[in-house]
Amino acid sequence: MARELITLEHIYKSYGDQLVLDDLSLMIKENSFVTLLGPSGCGKTTTLRIIGGFEYPDSGAVVFDGKNITDLSPNKRNLNTVFQKYALFPHMTVEENIAFGLKISNKSQQYIKDKVKYALKLLNMDGFEQRKPDSLSGGQQQRVAIARAIVNEPKVLLLDEPLGALDLKMRQGMQYELMRLKNELGITFIYVTHDQEEALTMSDHIIVMNQGYIQQEGTPEMIYNEPENAFVADFIGDSNILRAKMIQDKLVEIQGAKFACVDVGFGQNNPVDVVIRPEDIELLEPEKGIIKGRVLNTVFRGVHYEMEVEAHNYKWLVHSTRMKEVGQEVGLYVDPFNIQVMNVPESEDEEAISELEQTE
């Protein structure tokens, strides 16, 4: 069982009159890959910078390996940061960039040489020692920035949207590189991104944030399959979010039709929201579905067809490997295990998302 490594306790942070983090508390375990995920302005980068010591909270505590480090400067914390702008020294070679932190720490020349060689090999950068940063691709520069961080043997590596400047193919390749590095080095990774696919691909644990609050945290599978509110459901992947009525345990009414589900504890005849992922909807013959609809449009996405099906004035998003023609009447069926029932949103943000989903 992994032990607790970092704990944030009741963190508040404001910039002027703007409250960025509002009573934020979280715990990060050793040797995990944790992603702070959310839209711009949600507080994820501020949280990372507070962990790194680049920002200080207005109140609350940062506990690292059992010690309160809230007021410690970044260089006194056993962690390193890789930023989106890699901050390599343009006048230095790759070797000199990687060795920079070790030289400041007064390590021996042989120690530095061995560490740099190990880091270059680990990141598939053998032979690049004498190159300057401006002669490297974006992906190669990113590898150098990571190598410079890991040679210091930090317990934690902080990564602030480090793949944002890379093209899609290179970004996907580096995702697997980061996962491999985490497993080989045994370092705790804390990763900031607004990219849901990145978070789902790489993480052991995802913390979804919005407006300074943690909306939900858990494994990628839990976050995707069991969103706790409309914001998480809408932000993580594509979703159909509909207002419904919980008739009784394991039976929910959606658009006037009764759907079996597996959720309990929502009372009887109470308003609820339901989330149904587009890949969980089966398109059948009209008479075989729970409700009937008509295909509005179809787009081929490579691995599946993306279709809009209008039923009862709602446009259902459906992903299927089997295409239906535009104008074709279909029946929609959803397995009970694929219907996620949620309480009606209480916050204004969730309410706005829910209302938008109802009108789409």
> Is the domain of 205 the same as that of 249?
no
233 in any annotated domain: no
Side chain identity at residue 273, one-letter code? D
What pLDDT is attached to residue 347?
A: 52
Q: Which residues form the domain of 281?
A: 238-359
User: Considering 225, 249, 264, which residue would you say is the last residue of a domain?
Assistant: 225
pLDDT at site 126: 86
Mean pLDDT of all residues in 348-360: 48
Tokens of 145: 């920035």
CATH of the domain at 337: 2.40.50.140
- Residue 203 CA to residue 20 CA, distance in Å, equals 24
Q: What is the mean pLDDT of residues 321-333?
A: 96
Over residues 246-253, mean pLDDT:
97
Closest CA to 53 of 27, 69, 73: 73
Query: In a 10 Å sphere around its CB, with 0-12 CB exposed, 13-18 middle and 19+ buried, how is residue 120 labelled?
Result: buried
**Residue 146: pLDDT over 90:** no
CA–CA separation, 34 and 41 (whole Å): 19
Comparing CA positions, the residue from 101, 79, 83 lying closest to residue 145 is 83
Which tens digit of pLDDT belongs to each residue from 284-316? Answer: 999 999 999 999 999 999 999 999 999 999 999
Q: Taking the CA of residue 118 as centre, how many other CA atoms within 13 Å lie in the half-sphere pointing to its CB?
A: 15
First vs last C-alpha separation in the chain: 45
pLDDT tens profile 182-229? 888 889 999 999 989 899 999 999 999 999 999 999 999 999 999 998
Q: Which pLDDT score, from 0 to 100, does residue 152 have? A: 85
110 and 159 within one domain: yes
Nearest to 185 by CA among 158, 213, 159, 151: 151
Is residue 312 a part of any domain in this protein? yes
pLDDT grade for 81, boundaries at 50, 70 and 90 = confident
Distance CA 62, CA 60 (A): 7
Domain membership of residue 232 (yes or no) is no
Q: Interhelix angle for 138-150 vs 168-185, to 10°? A: 20
Half-sphere exposure for 121 (CA within 13 Å, toward CB): 7
| Structure confidence at residue 348 (pLDDT) | 47
The C-alpha atoms of residue 297 and residue 282 are separated, in whole angstroms, by 16
Across 242-262, average pLDDT: 96
Full-model pTM: 0.84
Q: Among the ranges 102-111, 133-142, 319-328, which has the highest mean pLDDT value?
A: 319-328
Give yes or no for residue 351 having a pLDDT over 60.
Answer: no
Asked whether the predicted pLDDT for residue 346 surpasses 70, the reply is: no
Token pair for residue 191? 């990763």
How far apart CA 3 and CA 6 sit, in angstroms, is: 9
Domain with residue 192: its CATH number is 3.40.50.300
> Per the domain annotation, does 151 fall within a domain?
yes
Q: Are strands 205-210 and 33-37 parallel, antiparallel or unpaired?
A: parallel
Domain count, the chain: 2
Boundary residue ending a domain (202, 225, 248): 225
Asked if the structure places residue 321 within a domain, the reply is yes
pLDDT at 352: 44
Where does a domain end: 195, 225, 255?
A: 225
170 vs 5, more confident: 5
Please state, in angstroms and rounded to a whole number, the distance separating the CA atoms of residues 140 and 123: 9
pLDDT over 90 (residue 84): no
Same domain, 21 and 149: yes
Chain segment 87-133, per-residue pLDDT in tens: 788 999 999 999 988 888 888 899 999 989 988 888 888 889 999 98
Residues 114 and 211 in one domain: yes
- Closest CA relative to residue 52, chosen from 92, 80, 24: 80
Q: Are residues 263 and 200 in the same domain?
A: no
User: What three-state secondary structure class fits 271?
Assistant: strand
Percent of the chain with pLDDT over 70: 95
* Whole-number pLDDT of residue 345: 65
Residue 48 to residue 188: CA distance in whole angstroms:
13
